[in-house]
Amino acid sequence: MAGMERVFFALGTAAAGLAVALGAFGAHGLRAALPADMLANFETGVRYHMYHALGLLAVAFAVTRWQGSALPVIAGWLFVAGIGLFSGSLYVMALTGWRWLGAITPLGGAAFIAGWACLCLAAARGS
């Protein structure tokens, strides 16, 4: 798993930058264009996107701290999947009005929860 800390640190910083850009787009470009409920969905996507971008930075640390464990790497990929499924579905739903995408959002939430559980287990085991 050599080099995975760099992968997750790079993914985390890129995801954080994208979350800031999308947040600005939502605040300045979408406020007048979307109904309030869709804007709220978009903002929720941005919020969880940023939380898990920061989580990817924690994963980069965890990969170096518990080098013998695959759990931090699994957590990182779960966070990446969660950002795509949870935040991505909210972004697309807000921009298109396709409410059926709300069925995908919980899969991303489950990925987030599983990722945090993996990090917790890695820390508890210390390996």
pLDDT by residue (tens digit) across 54-85?
Answer: 999 999 999 999 988 999 999 999 999 999 99
Distance CA 77, CA 50 (A): 15
pLDDT of residue 2 exceeding 70: no
Residue 30 exposed, middle or buried by CB count within 10 Å (0-12, 13-18, 19+): middle
Residue 34 CB neighbour total at 10 angstroms? 17
Ordered by start, the domain boundaries in the chain are 4-125
| pTM across the whole model | 0.95
Higher pLDDT, 119 or 67: 119
pLDDT by residue (tens digit) across 3-44?
Answer: 999 999 999 999 999 999 999 999 998 988 999 999 999 999
Across 41-59, b (16+ Cβ under 10 Å) vs e yields: bbbebbebbbebbebbbbb
3-state SS class at 32: coil
pLDDT of residue 127 exceeding 70: no
